[in-house]
Structure 1
Amino acid sequence: MKKIYSLIAFFTYSILQAQSGFVGIGTSNPQQKLDLDKSVGTLRVESLDKDNNPYNGGNLQPTATYPLYVDSNGFLTLNMQPFANSDGTDAYDNTAIPTSTIKLTAADADGKNETNFFTYTITVTRNAILEVKYSLSFEVFQTDAPLTMIRDGGARRVSTFYTLNGGTRKYGQASKSYLNRNINNPLPFLSTDRIGATGQLFNSSTTYIQLTPGTHTLRFKAEVSSNLPSLATYVRLAIDTDSIFMRLY
């Protein structure tokens, strides 16, 4: 009987608190619409546990924890919904992107050249922070016709970055320097001279930028440069598995 009286008292108390606009559990002085006192303990949501939610990996890592998100309707979820996520697939197909190569000629005046290889458009209705992570693969050659490896000892720098709304500021800059240790530089080269190394290089970066309400354009660019007088350079972009991840806060 005592338990029944206690239960009635609890529900009566909760109803009175609800009528006043605040509900407290374990406290007689709730400060919010729902106020759980420290004596109550932890809060459990059964639909988010390892047995009822496919995004909870507790069956594989029983002691691990997982981030909790809120969707546009206010529902709690473990499922993250980023703006863009290649998630292990190739983000940039070199046969499909607008520009997959970039060339620097020996006669270039300032010793550098750039190209836009991909564009994203994003619209936000409030002030937001955009997280951008990317990784872009590339290969470096001296010329494209015919395709020849670099044999001189000059350094080339390949940089990647993105701009916001056509501005000049470079976000998420990442660079790799290609240098061949040729034993005979400059010309002439001997038939026994080593040629440049082959293989893929990657530029990767993580940045956070502020967005105001409206539509914004992110242009991802690549730039190749050398010392002056400029050195002939040919770069092939997105030749391996590339990645992109963008999330709004």
Structure 2
Amino acid sequence: MLRPLLDFIFAMVLNDYLFTGAENIRLVNGLDVCFGTVEVKNSNSQWETVCDDSWDINNAAVVCSELGCGRAIIALGQAIFGEGTGNVSWIKFRCIGNETSFKSCSSRNATSVCSHSEDAGVVCAASSVVYIAAAVIIVLFISSSLLIVLLVKKRKKMKTIQICSSSIDAVNMPAVLHNERNEETIDDDYEVVDMDPGVREDSDSEQDYVNIDQGDSDPDYVNVETDESEQDYVNMETDDSEQDYINAAITENIIYDRQLQ
């Protein structure tokens, strides 16, 4: 995917070195001929840097156009690419932006002395730096997009797992409630019977229970033990059992006491 872009960048850089050039202007201290500090040739055919006083994008546009480097991206000053060597031009150029050459721009002699710390520079569109920066931006954009897609897919997957887990819990909940209900029913089958204190003293057991289950469980009994015998029961079952019976082992004294009550 990046191979065509890299091939294009290489071709543009090669084209710059083979076909770009001007007799009276050049860019130095940069990574290629379309990126760097501006130098112009004086009347003595010597190269001089240009002062950044009144240096703007229109001046940079004419420089880039004359060099065959496309349009200007940015005009820079304060020797951003490093200080040049030799002399600093005494001429200050003022371009409109549509001139065919830099020296055809209006100019005047400088009224103040410039040093190399004020050398002007420019970045043109055909510079390899621009293409490299564009390639880096594209790669970062693609990587970010892929990362976002992966994160979204992962989030959807986790949400699906949570929904499935909730569905399983919902399916199992009736069985859990049924088991809890059965346990409560079993626990509620028996109730403590508060018997007469005199009767309770004659009982050998600590508690007497009444089974009040009305379902289809086994026969239900009332423990009315009152003497020294093991247990005496009254069957209180009201469902489909075949017979109800009374254990008549209760003593006459107990029968008499119950009649009094």
Q: Same fold (TM over 0.5)?
A: no
TM value normalised by structure 2: 0.17
TM (norm. structure 1) is 0.18
| Structure with the higher helix share, 1 or 2 | 2
Q: Which is strand-richer, 1 or 2?
A: 1
The structure with the larger Rg is: 2
